[in-house]
Amino acid sequence: MSDNAKMEKGQISIHTENIFPIIKKWLYSEKEIFLRELVSNAVDAIHKLQHINLIEGLQLADEYAIDITVDKDAGTLTIKDNGIGMTGDEVRKYINQVAFSSAEEFVEKFKDLEDKNQIIGHFGLGFYSSFMVADRVEIFTRSYQKDAPAVHWVCQGSTDYSLEECDKEARGTEVVLHLTDDEKEFLEPAHIREILKRFCNFLPVPIRLAGDVVNDRNPLWTRSASEVKDEDYLEFYKKLYPLADDPLFWIHLNIDYPFNLKGVLYFPKLTTEFDVAKSHIKLFCNQVFVSDNCPELIPEFLNPLQGCLDAPDLPLNVSRSYLQNEPQVRKIREVISSRVASKIADLAKGDRESFIPVWDNIHTFVKYGMMRDDKFNDKLKDHLIFRMAGKDAYTTLPEYLERAAEKHADKVFYTNNEAAQSTYLKLFANQGMDVLVLDSLIDSHFIQFLEMKDSKVTFQRVDSDLTENLIEEDSKIQLAGKDERKERSELLRKAFEDSLKVDGLSVRVESFKDDSVPGMVILSEQTRRLQEMTKMMGKGDEDMFGGHTLCLNAKSPVVDTILDLKEQGNDDDAAMLMEQIYDLSMLPHCAFDKDRMAAFLERSNRILCKFGTLG
C-alpha cells in the first residue's frame, strides 16, 4: 500500500452510529436490489477501465466479464469484476468516506420523516445496500495502476473497518458477502439467476453465474431502428412477455436531444386479464433495470403500453416523488405521447383493412387521450375511424361529412345500439344515409368533446328527431288535399292522446318517406343528453321519459286503419292497435317492466288471433 504494509483499522467517517440497522430496514421488501447495486458498480468499473484503455492506450485485451458465485459451505455470495479496481486510497475515499456521506444524509432525513417510503430510493447507498443481507462484507481489489498493491477491506456491519494489503493477482474487484442466517436464500443459484434476470438482464457486460452467461448484452433498444426487422421486435416482445399474444404495433425510440431516451414500446392486444389501470413499462438506466412501476413516465391514457425505456439521465434509485416532480419526466411523457400519436396516424393513413383490428383494440384509449391532451387530439382528429351501421366498413369523420355535405351538412347521425335502434337504422338505410356506430362507454363523452372542438358539427342519435331527409316535404305529398290531411292528422293525434293517456307524451303526424313503420318515439338529443347526465349523477333515474313525442307515419296503412276503425265505432280494436304502435315505438327506448311486457305479449297474441280468424 502507498499506504503502508500493515493492517489499518479505522472508523468509517460517519457520525450517525445506527446506519446499519436503518440500511437493513431500508427497502426491506426489495432487498434483492443489493445485487443490482453491486453488479452496476462492477459494470461501471469495467466501463471506466474501457474508457481509460482508449484514452491512455493501455493495450488491454481482456474479455470483460462479471462473475457471480455462491459458496454454500462458507455462506458467501461473491461478485467479481475485471474492471478498474481500487487502490487503498481509493477504498478509503470511495468506500469509507464518499459512499457514507450519502448514507449519513439518508439517516438524517429518515429519522424526521413520517412516511419512510417517501424517501426510499432517494439516496444511492449503492455498495452499502449489501448490509441489508450480509453481516460481514469483504472487498478484495487491485487497481489497474501498475505498482499499486491489492488491498483487502472488511467491515462487520458497524462503523469499524479494517484495510490491509493482500495477494490478489488479477486486476479488478471482488466483493464477498457473508450472508446473515435469515438471508440464506441468496445462496440458491436459481434465486440469484432470477434476480439477475430481473435487474441485470440487459446489462452491456457478460454476467456469468457459475460460468453461464445469463444476460442479453444488446437489447433491441440499443440497436438502430433501421437494422431491426419486424420479427426481431416480435421476438424481443416474446422475451419480455412470454405468455402474451403478439402486440398490435410498436415504437422504437432513439432520442439524443434535448435528453437521452431509448426504448421500444409496444401496444399489446388487450385481453380481459390485462390490467389497464397499472403501468407496464420497464424502466432502465444505462441498461440497468430500475423499476417496472413508473406510471409517471407514460401519459395515463397510454397505460396499456408495454416495453422498455432506457433513460440514462434519470438516477438509478429513482423515487416516486422524483418522478412526479422532475421536469424531464414530463418531457419524456410528452415525447411518448407525440410518438404514439404519429404512429397511430401513420397506421390509419396506411391500409385501412389492417388498421381496423388495431383500432378496435385501442380506440377507447385514443379517444380518452384526445380528450386529455390537445396535442394528441390535433395529431389524430382526422384519422379516427368509425364503423358504419349495417355495413362492414369504416369511415373517418372528414370522409363522412364530405359524403353527407349535400343531404345533411355538418350533422352526424349515430346509433349507440344497433339492435335496439334497428327500426330507425332501416329508415336511414332506405334513404341512403350513413349512420355511425358509437356504442362504447366513452362515446357519449367523446361526442360532446368533438362538438366542443368543432362547433359546426353536431351529433344526433337516430332516434332523436325525424330529419327532413326521412319525411316528405309538403309539396311532394300526393295524398288527400291539404285541409283534409290536416283534419285527419288532428283526429289521429287526439285519438292516440285520449286512448294512451300517458303523461308528458305528445303526438305528431308526419308523412315518412318510408311506409313500413307506423310510428316512432323520439326524444330530442339535448333532452336525452341532459337526462343521461342527471342519471349518471345518480338523480332522475325514475322518469327518463318525462317529455317525449310519438311520431305517427301518415303513410302507414295501419295508421289509416285506426281511423277507419274509429269511424266504424270499433273503439276496442282501434285502442288495441294504438297501444301496440306505442309499445313497439317505446321498445327501443326502455326495458319494459314485468307488467308492461306481459300486456305487450298478450296484446300481440290477440292481434295474431285476429289475423287467424280473418283467414
Ligand X SMILES: Nc1ncnc2c1ncn2[C@@H]1O[C@H](COP(=O)(O)OP(=O)(O)OP(=O)(O)O)[C@@H](O)[C@H]1O
Binding residues for ATP, as ranges, are 37, 41, 81, 86, 173, 320
- The letter for the amino acid at 502 is V
Given the rule CB under 6 A, which of 126-134, 185-193, 397-405, 414-422 is the region that contacts ligand X? 126-134
124 binds ligand X (CB under 6 A): yes
Nearer to ligand X (CB atom), residue 264 or residue 314: 314
* DSSP codes, 494-518: HHHHHHH--TTEEEEEE-BS-SS-S
Tell me: does residue 88 bind ligand X (CB under 6 A). Answer: no
Q: Residue 286 CB, nearest distance to ligand X (Å)? A: 11
Q: Least distance in Å: CB of 456 to ligand X?
A: 56
Name 71's Cβ contacts closer than 8 Å, sequence gap at least 6.
77, 78, 187
Check residue 121 for interaction with ligand X (CB under 6 A).
no
Residue from the set 27, 95, 389, 576 that interacts with ligand X by CB under 6 A: 95
| Residue 581 makes contact with ligand X by CB under 6 A | no
Question: Cα–Cα distance between 189 and 184 in angstroms, integer?
Answer: 11
Q: Sign of torsion, CA 434 439 445 449?
A: negative
Is 505 a binding residue for ligand X by CB under 6 A? The answer is no
Q: How far is the CB of 126 from ligand X (least distance, A)?
A: 2
283-342 positions binding ligand X, by CB under 6 A? 316
Question: How far is 467 from 463, CA to CA, in rounded Å?
Answer: 10
* The residue to which cell 452499502 is assigned: 128
**H, E, C per residue of 421-439:** CHHHHHHHHHCCCCCEECC
Choice between 154 and 362, CB closer to ligand X: 154
- Find the binder of ligand X among 12, 39, 42, 574 (CB under 6 A): 42
Rounded Cα distance, 82 and 483, in Å: 104
**Separation between Cα atoms, residue 62 and residue 569, nearest integer Å:** 109
3-class DSSP assignment, residue 208: strand
Whole-number minimum distance, CB 317 to ligand X, in Å?
6
Distances (CA, A) of 436 to 96, 406, 514: 70, 17, 21
Binding residue (CB under 6 A) for ligand X from 35, 84, 332, 574: 84
> Phi and psi for 300 in degrees, rounded to 5?
-50, -35
Please work out the total of residues on this chain that contact ligand X, with binding judged by CB under 6 A: 18
Q: How far apart are the first and last CA of the chain?
A: 118
**Phi, psi (deg, nearest 5) at residue 62:** -75, 155
In this chain, which of 23, 99, 200, 203 binds ligand X, going by CB under 6 A?
99
**Pairing of β 458-461 and β 411-415:** parallel
HEC profile of 444-480: HHHHHHHHHHCCCCEEEECCCCCCCCCECCHHHCCCC
**Interface stretch with ligand X, choices 121-129, 319-327, 422-430, 502-510 (CB under 6 A):** 121-129
- Which C-beta is closer to ligand X: that of 16 or that of 448? 16
Q: 95 vs 348, which CB is nearer to ligand X?
A: 95
Q: Which of 45, 329, 554, 576 binds ligand X (CB under 6 A)?
A: 45
Q: Does 583 bind ligand X (CB under 6 A)?
A: no
Per-residue mark of binding to ligand X, 157-176 (x: CB under 6 A): ----------------x---
Verify binding: residue 35, ligand X, rule CB under 6 A. no
Write the burial class of residue 16 (CB in 10 Å: 0-12 exposed, 13-18 middle, 19+ buried).
middle
Whole-angstrom distance, CA of residue 400 vs CA of residue 391? 14
Instruction: Give the nearer residue to ligand X in terms of CB position, either 173 or 377.
Output: 173
Choose which of 41, 76, 291, 444 interacts with ligand X (CB under 6 A): 41
- According to CB under 6 A, which one of 32, 37, 443, 463 is a site residue for ligand X? 37
Q: Does 126 bind ligand X (CB under 6 A)?
A: yes
Which residue, 273, 266, 200, 197, is CA-closest to 235?
266
Cβ-based nearer residue to ligand X, 95 or 437: 95
Give the one residue of 81, 135, 164, 583 binding ligand X; rule: CB under 6 A: 81
Beta-carbon contacts of 81 under 8 Å, excluding residues fewer than 6 positions away, are 42, 43, 45, 46, 64, 65, 66, 67, 172, 173, 174
- Per-residue binder mask for ligand X (CB under 6 A), 173-202, x = binder: x-----------------------------
Peptide bond into 268 cis (omega under 30): no
* Residue with smaller CB distance to ligand X, 173 or 549: 173
Question: Which residues are near ligand X by CB under 6 A?
Answer: 37, 41-42, 45, 81, 83-84, 86, 94-95, 98-99, 124, 126-128, 173, 316
